[in-house]
A and B are shown apart, each in its own frame.
Chain A
Amino acid sequence: MPILKIDGKDIEVPVGTSIIEAAKKAGIEIPHYCYHPGLSVAGNCRMCLVEVEKFPKLQISCYTPVTEGMVVHTQSERVKDAQQAVLEFLLVNHPLDCPVCDQSGECELQNYYMKYGLYDSRLMEDKVKKHKAVSIGPTVMLDGERCVLCSRCVRFCDEVTHTHEMGIVNRGDRAEIEVAPGKEVDNDYSGNVVDICPVGALTDKDFRFKCRVWFLAQTPSVCPGCSRGCNIEIHWNKERPYQTPGERVMRLKPRFNADVNKFWICDEGRYNYHWIDQGRLLKPMQKRRGVPHEVSWEEAFGTLSGLFLRPQEMGVIVSTDMTNGDLAMAQQLFVSELKVKNVAYQWIRKSGKEDELLMKADKTPNTRGAQALGFEDRSGEIYEQIEKGQIKILFLFGHNLMEILGKDQAEKMRSHLETLVILGPHAHEGINLADWALPSAVYAEKNGTFTNFEGRVQKISKAFPPMGMAKSEREILKEMARQAGIHINLTV
């Protein structure tokens, strides 16, 4: 492995590593626009120029492979002059409309100007006019004037999705990003072009004008949209709840994981968050004479723990949306402690769209986790036993019987039961069937793990507290068990 020197630091990297990657390894940032480690090298922005000893010209660090004994300077006067010059060129025709630009706050033109620019403008000329606020797809907007023509989006559509919707048209300073005639950026991954756009040229219709990025908090998590378990960041509105009444999550962004999703997430996962704060079940409810009444958790725990005396009449259907911690608690309580025979997971949303890149047909995040904890897909047997009158008490996690069985069948099933306890985050139609409806937390409101389809256990983190009085399934079950005199301590 060649050893080179960057800014006086000795660095050892594998043969073929570019200078920019070697520098990254040594903690040295080299500014860049067109370079993206998930795409081919375009070398067009010229922002990453560095001085390499024995080379007469400055070299682009994204494309120059390291060699043994190479000496690189990223902070020399020549490099600083070049960086400043490139920024000046990039901003010559830039509209400088930061106050109305959604990228403001996470824009590499802003960031680099403050770090590497800081020159006085010499521009006396009119700027080139280009197309603005162009809808180029169901989720993506283009502002041609803000674009630095780095071609990341074009390369993404060529190299990652192989859909080739985008291209650069015209020459010189009239060059613009465009979609092919009659086409739209409408593939299953189109939102990624917004992520990789280093400036405000591509913005996301879902996020535009919703929230200034500096009001966002970021929490690492895992996408619950399918069994791939793409690593994501939940961006949520920290201090300005009045800007977006009722919704805390503002957007989801991919988080790099070399083994799972690299730099990308699919659109299905990306826009799959509005449900988090919509139609939530806020308080525990008990049906009294057919009418739901709000109750306290203490009342609920007290009464429900009484049901634990009848484990042979009990059925439990967990969900593959639950974390491993929630599932382990259910397994401990119902299987190990109470010896309930009829415990299963129900596999809903198991056959959606699948592709070769990221999307998996199983649209739940933790089927492998449920299986690893010994749960089986036997919900059909449980429903049969309910109909036969063998099961009188059903603990149902997350599922909507109306959706699963249809309205008539669900009501019929309900009539066979003595007590139906539903734990779930949402106040959907099916919740009305329940004798007890207990509000549970969504993935963004809890810590835990999901096991993806390959068996990879991945951590999710709590972004914000559960809405209303909701608690995680794990807490609910633990408390209920404690009321029944059962103490469960999980270490997972």
Chain B
Amino acid sequence: MKSYPKILSKNFEVPHAQHIGVYLSGGGYEAARKVYTSWKPEQLIEEVKKSNLRGLGGAGFSTGMKWAFIPKDSTRPHYVVVNADEGEPGTFKDRYILCKDPHALVEGILIACFAVGSHKAFVYIRGEYVEPIRIFREAVREAHEKGFLGKNVFGTGYEVEIVIHQGAGAYICGEETALLESLEGKKGFPRLKPPFPAVKGVFGCPTVINNVETLACLPPIVNLGAEWFAKLGCEKNGGTRLYSVSGHVNRPGLYELPLGTPLREIIEEHAGGVWKGRQLKAVIPGGISASILRSDEVDIKMDFNSLARVGSMLGSAGVVVMDETTCMVTTLLVAARFFAHESCGQCSPCREGTGWVLKMIERIYEGHGRSQDLDNLLDIGKNMMGNTICAFGDAAPTPVISYITKFRAEFEYHVRHGKCDLEDRSQKSE
């Protein structure tokens, strides 16, 4: 098996790495100290731009560029908001960082605050993450004790405070502007854009919103340089990525690999291949919102650009592997149920569309499909796509369109015979 440098996960196997003593012994907080004591914010932003670090929450936007959007002449305070509302099904990377290496995030936050001139960072953590919240809260306390947070960061007189906010269980609050609304105490409805958060974010102030994994990349970039980081990945995709591999593989888990690692290599080498000696049927490469790939499409590099080219996306790098026994109607039912449950209900197409689609798929699943159902589903999905305030309206119909298009015969069998062709096949073989 090919081995790659461990950047983000280097402390995952280290015992007690969540404690500041262990983190410090591995050179922790040196990057932040260097930045605070000898760097200029512009220099830091340039460095991060050069590193090709991209938003690892899933959107893949250049982090340095995002920082540069913060207006220089604003009289209002600037805020850093950390998106730790990890809710994308198939994704569990931020949870690992929060639990196994929380100080990497604290240090990343310190660096981001310095870059954009912020004195306060809000960390919005998914409500279900009870243990990660406890561990991260302890890490913040430790950093405070050491003087890395508070009124006098590294003795420079610069103030940084971290506020931890626990979410209440809505997937939509991972959408950055819904997150801001929720943080402000309102219902998690995504905002109209513009203005973008960089101009008018939380409490009406310029705000940078970064994902946990993105921020955890900052200390190594500062320590080892932008060029080193950029070289880890592939073209325009700097660094490594934490791939959450789940589903029908022999070794499900979190794998840190460079951006651009081939999907087949991730499945077959790192995750130990498809389980029980079965054949691969399909893979979701980047969380449930990404278009599905058939087994003949997995020879693809896992980076933002390559996946976008084939109409899918790297997203949160949540890789869900399905073997040949997986019923795609059932899989779509699960996805549709999720999106119908999580649509915030603000925009008409998404609010009504997700529920309608779910009921149709339920009907097909229960054996009452009609011949026009599949075309209707594709059309309803198309009508939702691109017509809503946030990207949820694009994500929700993606499984509908991609599963039906790529596994049409299976869906048609279901509609025609009122049951799964896989059941039939397995019965025949018995």
Footprint of B on A, CB under 8 Å? 41-47, 49, 57-58, 63, 81-82, 85-86, 88-90, 92-93, 122-126, 128, 148-149, 167-168, 170-175
B4 nearest CB across to chain A (Å): 37
Which of A43, A123, A172 touches B351 (beta carbons < 8 Å)?
A172
B278 within 8 A of A: no
* A124 close to B370 (CB less than 8 A): yes
10 residue pairs from A and B, CB less than 8 Å apart: A43-B389, A46-B349, A57-B387, A81-B383, A82-B387, A89-B348, A89-B351, A90-B352, A171-B344, A172-B351
Which of B170, B343, B370, B383 touches A85 (beta carbons < 8 Å)?
B383
B355 within 8 A of A: yes
Mark interface residues in B387-404 (1 if CB within 8 Å of A CB, else 0): 111000000000000000
B52 within 8 A of A: no
* B187 close to A168 (CB less than 8 A): yes
* A92 close to B352 (CB less than 8 A): yes
Number of interface residues of B (CB under 8 A): 32
- Once A172-B354, A173-B340 are accepted as A-B contacts, the answer to whether A89 and B349 lie under 8 Å apart by CB is yes
Q: Which residue of B lies closest to A148 (CB)?
A: B348
- Once A85-B383, A92-B356, A125-B356 are accepted as A-B contacts, the answer to whether A46 and B347 lie under 8 Å apart by CB is yes
**Which A residues lie within 8 Å of B389 (CB)?**
43-44
Q: Complex Cα distance A93/B356, Å?
A: 9
**Which B residues lie within 8 Å of A122 (CB)?**
372, 376
* B170 close to A86 (CB less than 8 A): no
Given contacts A128-B355, A149-B351, could you give 6 more A-B pairs where the C-beta distance is less than 8 Å?
Answer: A44-B346, A44-B348, A90-B352, A148-B348, A172-B341, A172-B351
* A125 close to B359 (CB less than 8 A): yes
Which of B341, B359, B363 touches A171 (beta carbons < 8 Å)?
B341
B359 nearest CB across to chain A (Å): 4
- Once A168-B187, A171-B342 are accepted as A-B contacts, the answer to whether A45 and B351 lie under 8 Å apart by CB is no
* A171 close to B343 (CB less than 8 A): yes
* Interface residue ranges of B372-389 to A (CB < 8 Å): 372, 376, 383-384, 386-389
Q: Which residue of A lies closest to B188 (CB)?
A: A171
Q: Complex Cα distance A90/B68, Å?
A: 40
B415 nearest CB across to chain A (Å): 13
Q: Complex Cα distance A489/B343, Å?
A: 69
* B387 close to A175 (CB less than 8 A): no
Which of A41, A42, A85, A171 touches B345 (beta carbons < 8 Å)?
A171
B353 within 8 A of A: yes
Question: Which 5 A-B residue pairings sit nearest by Cβ, starting from the closest?
Answer: A175-B345, A173-B355, A85-B383, A125-B359, A172-B343
**Which B residues lie within 8 Å of A63 (CB)?**
192
* Interface residue ranges of B327-372 to A (CB < 8 Å): 340-349, 351-356, 359-360, 363, 370, 372
Interface centre among B192, B342, B352 (most CB of A within 10 A): B352
**Which A residues lie within 8 Å of B346 (CB)?**
44, 149
* A170 close to B345 (CB less than 8 A): yes
Q: Complex Cα distance A172/B384, Å?
A: 14
**Which A residues lie within 8 Å of B388 (CB)?**
46
B188 nearest CB across to chain A (Å): 9
* B383 close to A89 (CB less than 8 A): yes
**Which B residues lie within 8 Å of A88 (CB)?**
383
Q: Complex Cα distance A172/B342, Å?
A: 7
Which of A42, A49, A173 touches B387 (beta carbons < 8 Å)?
A49
User: What does DSSP make chain B's interface, helix, strand, loop or mixed?
Assistant: helix
* B352 close to A93 (CB less than 8 A): yes
Q: Which residue of B lies closest to A125 (CB)?
A: B359
User: What does DSSP make chain A's interface, helix, strand, loop or mixed?
Assistant: loop
Q: Which residue of B lies closest to A167 (CB)?
A: B187
Q: Which residue of B lies closest to A93 (CB)?
A: B352
Q: Complex Cα distance A90/B352, Å?
A: 7
**Which B residues lie within 8 Å of A125 (CB)?**
356, 359-360, 363
Q: Which residue of B lies closest to A62 (CB)?
A: B192
Q: Complex Cα distance A88/B346, Å?
A: 16
Q: Complex Cα distance A175/B354, Å?
A: 13
Q: Complex Cα distance A85/B353, Å?
A: 10
* B386 close to A149 (CB less than 8 A): no
Q: Which residue of B lies closest to A34 (CB)?
A: B348
* A86 close to B349 (CB less than 8 A): yes
**Which B residues lie within 8 Å of A41 (CB)?**
192
* B352 close to A46 (CB less than 8 A): no
**Which A residues lie within 8 Å of B349 (CB)?**
46, 85-86, 89
A433 nearest CB across to chain B (Å): 61
Q: Complex Cα distance A149/B187, Å?
A: 14
Q: Which residue of A lies closest to B360 (CB)?
A: A125
Q: Complex Cα distance A45/B388, Å?
A: 9
**Which A residues lie within 8 Å of B370 (CB)?**
124
Q: Which residue of B lies closest to A123 (CB)?
A: B356
**Which B residues lie within 8 Å of A171 (CB)?**
170, 172, 341-345
**Which B residues lie within 8 Å of A124 (CB)?**
360, 363, 370
Q: Which residue of B lies closest to A86 (CB)?
A: B348
**Which A residues lie within 8 Å of B342 (CB)?**
171-172
Q: Complex Cα distance A23/B363, Å?
A: 43
Q: Complex Cα distance A116/B384, Å?
A: 17
Which of B170, B192, B352, B376 touches A89 (beta carbons < 8 Å)?
B352
A127 nearest CB across to chain B (Å): 10
Q: Complex Cα distance A266/B110, Å?
A: 53
Q: Which residue of B lies closest to A174 (CB)?
A: B345
Which of B172, B344, B376, B387 touches A86 (beta carbons < 8 Å)?
B387
- Once A46-B349, A149-B348 are accepted as A-B contacts, the answer to whether A58 and B192 lie under 8 Å apart by CB is no
A154 nearest CB across to chain B (Å): 10
Q: Complex Cα distance A459/B384, Å?
A: 48
**Which B residues lie within 8 Å of A174 (CB)?**
345
**Which B residues lie within 8 Å of A44 (CB)?**
346-348, 389
Q: Complex Cα distance A45/B341, Å?
A: 20
Q: Complex Cα distance A57/B345, Å?
A: 21
**Which B residues lie within 8 Å of A86 (CB)?**
348-349, 387
Mark interface residues in B173-196 (1 if CB within 8 Å of A CB, else 0): 000000000000001000010000
**Which B residues lie within 8 Å of A57 (CB)?**
386-387
Q: Complex Cα distance A86/B172, Å?
A: 21
Q: Which residue of A lies closest to B353 (CB)?
A: A89
**Which A residues lie within 8 Å of B354 (CB)?**
172-173
**Which B residues lie within 8 Å of A173 (CB)?**
340, 343, 345, 351-352, 354-356
B100 nearest CB across to chain A (Å): 32
* Interface residue ranges of B273-320 to A (CB < 8 Å): none
**Which B residues lie within 8 Å of A85 (CB)?**
349, 383, 387
Q: Complex Cα distance A251/B196, Å?
A: 44
A308 nearest CB across to chain B (Å): 69
Mark interface residues in B148-173 (1 if CB within 8 Å of A CB, else 0): 00000000000000000000001010
Q: Which residue of A lies closest to B373 (CB)?
A: A124
A62 nearest CB across to chain B (Å): 9
**Which B residues lie within 8 Å of A90 (CB)?**
348, 352
Interface centre among B340, B348, B387 (most CB of A within 10 A): B348
Which of B348, B360, B363 touches A45 (beta carbons < 8 Å)?
B348
Q: Complex Cα distance A83/B384, Å?
A: 12
* B344 close to A172 (CB less than 8 A): yes
**Which B residues lie within 8 Å of A81 (CB)?**
383
Q: Complex Cα distance A41/B193, Å?
A: 12
A46 nearest CB across to chain B (Å): 5
B84 nearest CB across to chain A (Å): 21
A157 nearest CB across to chain B (Å): 15
Q: Complex Cα distance A88/B354, Å?
A: 13
Q: Complex Cα distance A172/B349, Å?
A: 10
Q: Complex Cα distance A90/B347, Å?
A: 10
**Which A residues lie within 8 Å of B344 (CB)?**
171-172, 175
**Which B residues lie within 8 Å of A126 (CB)?**
359
Q: Complex Cα distance A45/B351, Å?
A: 10
Mark interface residues in B121-149 (1 if CB within 8 Å of A CB, else 0): 00000000000000000000000000000
Q: Which residue of A lies closest to B343 (CB)?
A: A172
**Which A residues lie within 8 Å of B386 (CB)?**
57-58
Q: Which residue of A lies closest to B396 (CB)?
A: A172
Q: Which residue of B lies closest to A169 (CB)?
A: B187
B339 nearest CB across to chain A (Å): 8
